[in-house]
Structure 1
């Protein structure tokens, strides 16, 4: 069992940190809104800390799952940041989806201070976090990954090192690029079935077991047909992730025409007031623009 700290107790971080505690690890938590940290301690035990530095003191592993590049820098750097409280040899594991640039910057700072740094974004959404069934894609030095993987296993069904620092974030970009196209295709297919006057549920029962089947189809088609979008990964967060993908494509020369188009479709959803709707709400946009 390890001494751990977890920074960020949102819809993902709260259950992830909880799985660490249930697995027997000693967990200290920090959240920008202290009430959330207090609620976590009341549910799982452990201790809360007023700053990332104090949460990280004495921890062998410090996990973070915050909002964006700036949030990650804020919990890592400065006099009250986690790096200031970590002991030499401790490993920082970042589960936030951020740019490869901030990952490489923080990796460099960590190494200069004798710390390990693993970028480890996740896929599986809120349900995956709650059920301890996340997929974790990692970048960083092999020894740091090897030491952190048994701890990450508390909330992961699959954890893999993809390559050197930044490779985990690049893998997550691929994940989001693929999802964007899949959800738009599923939305168009279901909307087409409705226009054609056939039962969308019956259609999915047939095609879901064939070449058209996907996780998105089998886990989202019913709520999409029922016009329910109050679960899963929010449109606002998807646009944040797609912006990272598109900016990286500008740097490496990759062509992402479908991703760029779907990003604009999500912008339309935001204009409809759906920033907090699940990403499957692309079908609602189709119907609105019909």
Structure 2
């Protein structure tokens, strides 16, 4: 996602001044496309920037990238704004926002709804938390990537909203997988079943853009891995528990995702939940 954002910004005429990835080869592959230098540390990447865009996989990656003598916060210029797009616990956002504020800079937590193809078309949806004045400072950058930018509240609100959105997305993924396996067990061709589902009241955008992944699972690129699905469901259920919100559907989805990861599918696309359910049906002796 971060690589696609950098390329899109460059294509839209925004100055990409430095790139950093914890795996240097990944940054080098993008650098040739955006004509920007690869920084050796997060600090070096942040130093020349007015806007620092961050996209990382989990809480630990965010913490390790921000902290320390070579961390992002050590390189921030006064009045710079960090746009944190990672899907993380809202508590992590609040902690990093405080660290950034101590550098006389600002942080907007702005996770996204959308996939790499939507990045490439500039059609992401950002859900932003933080100071609205700082959001306006970075809006020209976000507008190059987004169809919509929502300001949903103070620091951490964007991260919280992303967990709420993903609770729905991951529930759709689960129930769509179940429905397809149910139809197949009844002798209905998966493609025919998908035709009906896509044309019915449940034909949400997710159902349409995941069609190829569900119909051709062995060839599906990994848009969002089951390992990340499990990570997000753990964040969702943990956050809900802290707030005293019952989320039985997400709890059950997390148990299924954990079982699928334990079955060796963690590196597969999220649509592989259907494969896990089909395999489990056969191993339990159903006919």
Tell me whether the two structures share a fold, i.e. TM-score over 0.5.
Answer: yes
Alpha carbons 2:67, 2:73 under 8 Å: kept: yes
What residue in structure 2 maps to residue 216 of structure 1?
206
Kindly report which structure 2 residues correspond to 1:17-96, keeping only aligned pairs within 5 A, or say none.
17-27=6-16, 28-96=18-86
Alpha carbons 1:126, 1:233 under 8 Å: kept: no
What residue in structure 1 maps to residue 96 of structure 2?
106
Unaligned stretches of 5+ residues in structure 2: 282-287
Shift of 1:110: 1.7
Unaligned stretches of 5+ residues in structure 1: 1-11
Shift of 1:241: 1.0
Rounded Cα–Cα distance in structure 1 between residues aligned with 2:174 and 2:25: 38
Shift of 1:287: 0.7
- Deviations, residues 60-114 of structure 1 (Å, cap 9, x unaligned): 1001111222211222222212222221111011111111011001111222221
CA change 1:115–1:221 in 2 (3 A) is same
Single out whichever of 126-135 and 95-104 deviates more from structure 2.
126-135
Is 1:196 aligned with 2:198?
Answer: no
- Deviations, residues 18-50 of structure 1 (Å, cap 9, x unaligned): 111122222111111222222222122022211
Shift of 1:125: 2.4
Alpha carbons 2:213, 2:221 under 8 Å: kept: no
Match of 1:126 among 113, 116, 119: 116
Rounded Cα–Cα distance in structure 2 between residues aligned with 1:50 and 1:226: 39
What residue in structure 1 maps to residue 172 of structure 2?
182
Rounded Cα–Cα distance in structure 2 between residues aligned with 1:58 and 1:34: 19
What residue in structure 2 maps to residue 7 of structure 1?
none
Shift of 1:252: 0.3
Q: TM-score, normalised by structure 1?
A: 0.91
Shift of 1:136: 1.4
Aligned residue for 1:50, secondary structure, equals coil
CA change 1:272–1:126 in 2 (3 A) is farther
Shift of 1:212: 1.6
Q: TM-score, normalised by structure 2?
A: 0.91
Alpha carbons 2:233, 2:253 under 8 Å: kept: no
Shift of 1:59: 1.1
Kindly report which structure 2 residues correspond to 1:164-175, keeping only aligned pairs within 5 A, or say none.
164-175=154-165
CA change 1:21–1:225 in 2 (3 A) is closer
Match of 2:275 among 279, 284, 290: 284
Alpha carbons 1:98, 1:244 under 8 Å: kept: yes
Shift of 1:135: 1.7
CA change 1:25–1:198 in 2 (3 A) is same
CA change 1:15–1:193 in 2 (3 A) is same
Rounded Cα–Cα distance in structure 2 between residues aligned with 1:288 and 1:239: 19
What residue in structure 2 maps to residue 236 of structure 1?
227
Aligned residue for 1:245, secondary structure, equals helix
Shift of 1:255: 0.6
Rounded Cα–Cα distance in structure 1 between residues aligned with 2:59 and 2:32: 30
